[in-house]
Amino acid sequence: MAHKDGKVNRAFNIFTAIAALFLIFVDFSAFAQETKDDPVYLRPVAAVASSFDESEWAPPKDAMAAADGDFETRWSPSLGKDNEWIYFDLGKPKTLTRIVIYWERAYAREYEILTSDDTLQWKSAILMKDRRGGIETLDLQPTTARYIKLIGLKRSHPDWGFSIWEFEIYGPKGLNPDDKPIQEVFPDRKPKEVIKLVMEEPLASAGIISVKEFHKGISYSSYSESDLAAKASDAMLEYLKGLNITHVSLSVTWYQDTLESDKMYPEDPQGGRTPTDEALSHAINKAHLLGMKVMLKPHLDVQAGDFRGNIPGSEEWFKNYEEFILKYAKFAAKYNVEMFCIGTELGGTPLLWEQNWRKIIKEVRKAYKGPLVYAANWDEYTEVPFWNELDFMGIDAYFPLTSKNDPSRDELIAGWEKRAGEIENFLKKKNINKPVIFTEVGYTSADGTNRKPWEAPSDIEDQKEQAECLDAAMTVLTKKSWFRGIYWWNAFPQETNSPLGFTVKGKLVEGVLADWYKKAK
């Protein structure tokens, strides 16, 4: 009996195991079917961040900006730090299978995604290394959690932090029955544009620049290989045209590693900060279509973070710089650019290397037949020995105006009267009979901006001071016969709300700029 019962028991155990396997298969098949559903958007109800960027370029301090369906808002933590983080609260545990990250220029080369049910204990979901930014889609094993966290472990650039336009979390409809596709959650959401780069044929010039016309200008800057070719850039140029802007200064930046480096280079066209020739051609053509005249203004920055004005120069450096500047002079000629800038704020080189600069001017004139300018920093223009070789005298006019945080309008005007008088005396002393333009002038919307116009001297927003500084400048300078206009610093192709920055959109200074440009002649 025992032997017989043993056979029965073994048969029963085998039957039980098969049944269990069948049930597991049925359950897994059902789970697999549920996870094959079209993914739905798992919308966060809240977000918490480790910190917020407080520089003049910073967006508003809002962690939910990275989950609001808007590609013009973003989260950015403190600059220059690794291990900054942000996490999103889904309100209750949900099953996720996909994350899509839309990085701004400041992306993470290495980062980790973690999940939690209580924000106290976190489990690693995926570790990403050697990343290149852009749009990243992460497919995960089905994971149930309430909180989703990103930690930026290594920055893409030593001076930057991390910055995210949108962080999107998705899961299967079958396991998240209360959630909807993202287009239903954000009906007005427009997918992030995929920019196609094509070298365009040149369009006709918007007209020659005479020495008498007034430059109602904007400095238009891009630190992206492709943004100048984006629809957002076209829209921004159209908006700027609506502010009565008639002249656009297009900046394109190359880099050298340290102050003493001889070599300069464009950053990687796949994820670098130098606009490609294709993107540049599109922006020039768009400006010309709008009837706006263009100044092409090459910049040189130092990767180590030092100010370009402290580059000492050398024979080898000038050899490479000449090659760099001639490339863009020829590009300017091909695309009917109305004015060309031979250099920007390179104050460490003019006096010691005067003959090298004169040679560069001579070679540029062979390649480009339009008017030339050099953009001297505000504390450098009196040291430039070759003004009479150029058609315009250019100053990046970040002159301190007072020592106060809250000066009156009369004090700001007095500050500009003093600076204008200094320029006028210099012109007479050196017998320089050239029209002067401010190749850059700008003020942040931070309290105290008149003291240090080149940066945000505080983290207190003050739109009134920014607007009054511009008004004072135009009140004084438009009465000077030698003065022929400004290029406001600055605007970006992908405009974002920058409470402390130089941008004008949506600020008090916007109306001041438009009004002065309307009446300036």
DSSP-assigned letters across all residues of 70-138? -TT--B---TT-SSEEEEEEEEEEEEEEEEEEEE-SS-EEEEEEEEESSSSS-EEEEEE-S---SEEEE
Q: What residues are paired with 215 via a beta bridge?
A: 485
Give me the residue spans of the domains in the chain: 39-185, 215-519
User: How many angstroms separate the CA atoms of 323 and 441, rounded?
Assistant: 28
| Structure confidence at residue 28 (pLDDT) | 39
| Structure confidence at residue 208 (pLDDT) | 96
Per-residue burial over 141-152, b = 16 or more CB atoms within 10 Å of its CB, e = otherwise: eebebbbbbbbb
Residue 298 token pair: 């090459």
Give first-to-last CA distance, the chain, whole Å: 115
SS3 (DSSP) at 452: coil
- Distances 10 to 13, 14, 21, 104, 172 between C-alpha atoms, Å: 5, 6, 16, 63, 41
Mean pLDDT of 156-171: 90
**pLDDT tens profile 280-334:** 999 999 999 999 999 999 999 998 889 999 999 999 999 999 999 999 999 999 9
Q: Is residue 190 scored above 90 in pLDDT? A: no
| Structure confidence at residue 495 (pLDDT) | 66
User: How many angstroms separate the CA atoms of 104 and 293, rounded?
Assistant: 30
User: How many angstroms separate the CA atoms of 76 and 84, rounded?
Assistant: 10
28-32, 106-110, 239-243, 488-492: least confidently modelled range: 28-32
**pLDDT tens profile 331-386:** 999 999 999 999 999 999 988 899 999 999 999 999 999 999 999 999 999 999 99
**pLDDT tens profile 468-480:** 999 999 999 999 9
**In the structure, what pLDDT confidence band is assigned to residue 133 with cuts at 50, 70 and 90?**
confident
Residue 343 token pair: 């250099």
Q: What percentage of residues in the chain have a pLDDT greater than 70?
A: 92
User: How many angstroms separate the CA atoms of 360 and 391, rounded?
Assistant: 15
| Structure confidence at residue 152 (pLDDT) | 96
Q: Is residue 254 scored above 90 in pLDDT? A: yes
Mean pLDDT of 390-418: 97
Right CATH for 215-519 from 3.10.20.340, 3.20.20.80, 3.40.50.720, 3.40.228.10: 3.20.20.80
Mean pLDDT of 251-271: 90
| Structure confidence at residue 116 (pLDDT) | 98
Q: Are 50 and 14 in contact (CB under 8 A)?
A: no
- Distances 419 to 57, 61, 373, 426 between C-alpha atoms, Å: 27, 36, 20, 11
Q: Are 360 and 327 in contact (CB under 8 A)?
A: no
Mean pLDDT of 502-520: 96
| Structure confidence at residue 269 (pLDDT) | 65
Q: For the chain, what is the mean pLDDT?
A: 91
Mean pLDDT of 243-268: 96
Right CATH for 39-185 from 3.40.50.720, 2.60.120.260, 3.40.50.300, 2.30.30.60: 2.60.120.260
| Structure confidence at residue 515 (pLDDT) | 98
| Structure confidence at residue 200 (pLDDT) | 97
| Structure confidence at residue 329 (pLDDT) | 98
| Structure confidence at residue 470 (pLDDT) | 98
| Structure confidence at residue 26 (pLDDT) | 38
**pLDDT tens profile 51-81:** 999 887 788 899 999 999 998 899 999 988 9
Mean pLDDT of 251-259: 96
| Structure confidence at residue 32 (pLDDT) | 42
Mean pLDDT of 115-135: 94
Q: Is residue 187 scored above 80 in pLDDT? A: yes
Cis bond before residue 490 (omega within 30° of 0) = yes
CA dihedral (305, 311, 313, 318) positive or negative: positive
CB atoms within 10 A of CB 324: 18
